Each structure stands twice: as C-alpha cells, then as structure tokens.
Amino acid sequence: MKKILFSFVGLIFAAFSVQAQDAAPQPQANPNAPEISFEKTVHDYGTIFQSADGTCEFKFTNTGKEPLILSKPQSSCGCTVPTWPQEPILPGKSDVIKVTYNTNNIGPINKTVTVTSNAKTSRIVLQIKGAVVAKPATTEPVKTTDQGASPQSK
C-alpha cells in the first residue's frame, strides 16, 4: 500500500514540476512597416434627401517607410460600397478610399467599412452616419386658361 501511495505522490509531484516548453517567439514588429493615417475616420452626412449622392471620401497617407498595400475593404452591408486604390501607396504619398452609400432607403445611416492593410495597425474601421429623409413634395405651377373669354375680347 505504501508503494502505491508513494508512486501516486511521485506522479503528482512529477506532473507539477514538469514545465511546458516556451511558446514560439513572437516576431518583432517591423520598425519600417507602413503606417496608415486617415484625416478622418467618421463621415457625417447630416440629413440628406432620398436618392441624393451618397459618396464620400476618406483621405489617408502612408506615414511609414515601406509601401502600403490595402486589402479589399469590407463594408457592414450591401448598401455601402467602398472603392480603394489597388496599387501600393509609397511612403509619404496619399490616396483616398471612396465610400458610396445607397440613399434610396429612408432612415438613419450608421455603417462601417473595415480597412485591412499591411500597416502596423492592420485594421482600421471607417464609419459613415447621418439620416436619409424623403424628398419634399414638389408642387406644379397652376396653369390658368381663358376658357370663359370670347375670341373677340383677346
């Protein structure tokens, strides 16, 4: 019985004294990596009319030391379509991401576009907000006719 007890205690001691291997070393961040700096990350349309132009631009600059490459930006819904530069953005150069919102639907706007790149901050979320309201009803000018007048009185 003592042998079983000592074996059990030894097994527990061995289990707690064994150390796991160190995790793989984390790659160090590239100090020369590109950096993406946006002038703004939120665009507020305010109140716009239905079927108005829902296009806005987010200007950015590569403030890093290597070319910046953007992956396909992902919008939060199908009513928001981003357009982005396909070629690398050289250090110190600027470009824009255009975002077009479909203003056919009336209601509040609160959508996002996630931009993924090879920058130090690899993901940045852009936001558009505002409200779409119905166009005001237009009134046609009233046409007057001289139905009661005789041709001689003209």
Domain residues of the chain, as ranges? 36-133
Note the pLDDT of residue 154: 47
Check pLDDT > 50 for residue 49: yes
- For residue 30, what pLDDT is reported? 81
Which whole number is the average pLDDT over 56-76? Answer: 96
| Residue 121 pLDDT exceeds 50 | yes
- Greater model confidence, 147 or 80: 80
Nearest alpha carbon to residue 108 among 126, 128, 125? 128
Extended beta strands in the chain, E state: 36-38, 42-49, 55-62, 74-75, 80-83, 94-101, 107-116, 123-133
Closest C-alpha to 81, from 50, 54, 47? 54
* Residue 3 banded pLDDT, cuts 50, 70, 90: low
Write down the residue that tokens 């160090």 correspond to. 28
Q: What is the mean pLDDT of residues 17-34?
A: 63
Which residues sit opposite 95 in a β-bridge? 60
φ, ψ for residue 141, nearest 5 deg: -65, 140
Q: Which residue has the higher pLDDT, 149 or 111?
A: 111
Confidence of residue 113 (pLDDT cuts 50, 70, 90): very high
Alpha-carbon gap, residue 39 to 44, rounded angstroms? 14
Whole-angstrom Cα distance, residue 87 to residue 82? Answer: 15
Burial class of residue 144 in the structure, from the number of CB atoms within 10 Å of its CB (0-12 exposed, 13-18 middle, 19+ buried): exposed
- CA angle 111–112–114, rounded 5-degree value: 165
In the predicted model, what is the mean pLDDT of residues 87-97?
Answer: 97
How far apart, in whole angstroms, are the C-alpha atoms of residue 62 and residue 56?
Answer: 20
Tokens 């030391």 found at: 65
pLDDT at 29: 72
CATH topology classification for 36-133: Immunoglobulin-like (2.60.40)
- Give the H/E segment covering residue 33: none
